[in-house]
Amino acid sequence: MPKYILHRFCAAPMLGATDRHFRSFVRFLSQKTFVYSELVHCHAITKGNYRIELAENAAAHPAALQLAGCDPQSLGEASYAAYQNGFDEINLNIGCPSPKGVVSNFGLCLMDDPELTAECVRACVQGSPLPVTVKCRLGSNPEYSKDKLLKFLELNMAAGCRCFIVHARKADMQSFDTAQNRTKPPLDYEAVYRLKQRYPETEWILNGDIKTAKQAQEHLQYVDGVMLGRALYHNIFLLASVDSRFFDLPDLIHSRREFLIQKAIPYIQARLDKGKPLSHFVRHLLSLYQYQPHANAWRRFLAENAYKPGASLDVLYKALEIAEGV
């Protein structure tokens, strides 16, 4: 299968949201959606104890490990650890507009140091046989020029990056905080379409405020793939029709009830048996009935009951009755 097919529809990395449980739920709903781990700093793997968690993290193929950092040697080692633990891709985070990133020189600020970024890409390419992709923006600040962007991209292509995921806006860390930088400055989808025209051999994945499958399909006329973050997290059942819509495959799941009873509940039960709290899992299911008649009642019941100490699956069964209007 051509590689671009794998990237046609991607679930965005979101720290604090797209953990391994969420990614497992994604996989129950869609076999082809490409999932991205939350950002992991390479030092957490090479110097900390995150290596231990990696094995559990890779379960939902196809899956990328998203790495942050600016230390080529550590990134190379971390990419090998990802390979050993069964990930399918290394994704370098060069787009995160957080003050922490500025202090530690990772994320967005690396767009201002394309030579170092390329070194990091090269280290990951040499560190493992996995493909290396870069997630970036159209610029690190409002004045970031087109020439600067092209230089950044070309140096990274030369270093071995064949696929860019572009959040289709620049950043503005002077005026906005991290969260505000996800809705401002304005989006420029056409700029990403033009990158695809300029570099047709490279894969281009468009990200930023794509809200529906229909919008995603429209973008796919101009780019190789789309990546959805908030719209998916806030409406997880959107994934149930991704395989048929985007990959011409039969869908895995046909109703929310089927998803819960056949997939999510057995998955959660196995983990409750090991002492994990219900809330770890239920938080990813709050959006399951989004846009359905009893969506609010479902969410409210879970929010009020699933977080209580010792909450059992009974809470989920009861919520299901409420959501289905039984």
Ligand X SMILES: Cc1cc2nc3c(=O)[nH]c(=O)nc-3n(C[C@H](O)[C@H](O)[C@H](O)COP(=O)(O)O)c2cc1C
Catalytic residue numbers, as ranges: 96
- Applying CB under 6 A, among 76, 127, 208, 225 the residue interacting with ligand X is 208
Residue 97 binding ligand X, by CB under 6 A: no
CA atoms of 114 and 278, how far apart (whole Å) = 44
Instruction: State in angstroms the smallest separation of the CB of 31 from ligand X.
Output: 21
CA atoms of 315 and 312, how far apart (whole Å) = 6
- Applying CB under 6 A, among 46, 57, 79, 93 the residue interacting with ligand X is 93
Annotate 108-170 with DSSP letters as a single string.
Answer: GGGGG-HHHHHHHHHHHHHH-SS-EEEEEEEESSTT--HHHHHHHHHHHHHTT--EEEEEEEE
CA atoms of 151 and 112, how far apart (whole Å) = 10
For ligand X, give the closer residue by CB, 21 or 135: 135
Instruction: State in angstroms the smallest separation of the CB of 135 from ligand X.
Output: 5
Residue 182 binding ligand X, by CB under 6 A: yes
Q: How far is CA 169 from the centre of its chain?
A: 17
Instruction: State in angstroms the smallest separation of the CB of 94 from ligand X.
Output: 9
Map tokens 């809470």 to a residue: 315
Main-chain dihedrals φ then ψ at residue 165, nearest 5 degrees: -100, 120
Structure tokens at 126: 């040499």
Residue 185 binding ligand X, by CB under 6 A: no
Residue 235 binding ligand X, by CB under 6 A: no
Instruction: State in angstroms the smallest separation of the CB of 62 from ligand X.
Output: 17
Q: Interaction with ligand X in 133-152: which residues (CB under 6 A)?
A: 135
CB 323, CB 297: distance < 8 Å: yes
Q: Interaction with ligand X in 306-325: which residues (CB under 6 A)?
A: none
Per-residue binding string, ligand X, 34-53, x by CB under 6 A, is ----xx--------------
Q: Which stretch binds ligand X (CB under 6 A): 126-134, 192-200, 223-231, 240-248?
A: 223-231
Q: Report the DSSP pairing between strands 203-207 and 163-170.
A: parallel
Residue 17 binding ligand X, by CB under 6 A: yes
CA atoms of 303 and 313, how far apart (whole Å) = 14
For ligand X, give the closer residue by CB, 134 or 316: 134
- Applying CB under 6 A, among 113, 188, 209, 258 the residue interacting with ligand X is 209
The four Cα atoms 80, 114, 64, 224 give a dihedral, to 10 degrees, of -140
- Applying CB under 6 A, among 8, 13, 155, 219 the residue interacting with ligand X is 13
- Applying CB under 6 A, among 148, 162, 196, 230 the residue interacting with ligand X is 230
For ligand X, give the closer residue by CB, 182 or 194: 182
The contacts of residue 304 (CB under 8 Å, 6+ apart) are none
Binding-site ranges for ligand X (CB under 6 A):
12-17, 38-39, 66, 93, 95-96, 135, 167, 182, 207-210, 228-231
